[in-house]
A and B are shown apart, each in its own frame.
Chain A
Amino acid sequence: DTAVSQTPKYLVTQMGNDKSIKCEQNLGHDTMYWYKQDSKKFLKIMFSYNNKELIINETVPNRFSPKSPDKAHLNLHINSLELGDSAVYFCASSQVAGVGSEQYFGPGTRLTVT
């Protein structure tokens, strides 16, 4: 059983397009996250939702918009894609938000913008 799943796994698209990445977790966790891992391998938090409420919104261009229809899903929509958006995007979840809570990661979506 897949705990945290993301679709698509690979996404190749042209500059200026709009795309979405979907994430689902079947762990019953309350909190979900989106991370970006760039070519230098740094994992940076972008957003976090706890029970469908936005709790983390890092300095991310407003072309990126998360949406959580329910606590098992957190989708990421990106408008007007730019070359610099090329990266691996990881979704993650944790049982609760806060100190000490282990995060479970999805397999990642490798986005390439040409």
Chain B
Amino acid sequence: RKEVEQDPGPFNVPEGATVAFNCTYSNSASQSFFWYRQDCRKEPKLLMSVYSSGNEDGRFTAQLNRASQYISLLIRDSKLSDSATYLCVVNRNDYKLSFGAGTTVTVRA
């Protein structure tokens, strides 16, 4: 079983729609959780960290469910510029980040 699993999508949504997707992780000792964004042929960039209490950054909301070992990302009022691959990233209690393969979101006009 992979350490981090994501639905690859693609999620094709119209502008203004809400899109949400999850990521599951296998190691219950995982301590830090992140969503990174990767545009086509570019490097990954941190979108947001995910805290136990859940957190919001503008139109983006991240949730963590430790009991079921998943994190989620919700994007409200989608913009064309939100089209990207969203990488779920999990950090155990060591130096390594484990990346999911990404969920592709395409926002259409």
Contacts and interface: CB of A to CB of B under 8 A. Distances in A.
Contacts of B31: 99-100
Contact of A43 (B34, B44, B95): B44
A41 B85 contact: yes
Contact of A102 (B46, B95, B99): B46
A31 interface: yes
Contact of B97 (A40, A103, A106): A103
A84 interface: no
B42 A43 contact: no
B59 interface: no
A90 interface: yes
B87 A43 contact: yes
B84 to A, nearest CB: 12
Contacts of A42: 99, 101
Nearest to B44: A105
A108 B43 contact: yes
Interface residues of B, number: 21
A98 interface: yes
A40 B34 CA distance: 20
Interface string A64-100: 0000000000000000000000000010000001111
Given A97-B95, A100-B31, A41 B101 contact: yes
Contacts of A45: 96-97
Contact of A99 (B32, B85, B87): B32
A90 B49 CA distance: 21
Given A42-B99, A44-B99, A48-B96, 19 more contacts: A40-B101, A43-B87, A45-B96, A48-B95, A55-B95, A56-B95, A56-B96, A98-B94, A98-B95, A99-B93, A100-B31, A102-B34, A102-B49, A103-B46, A103-B97, A104-B46, A105-B44, A106-B43, A108-B42
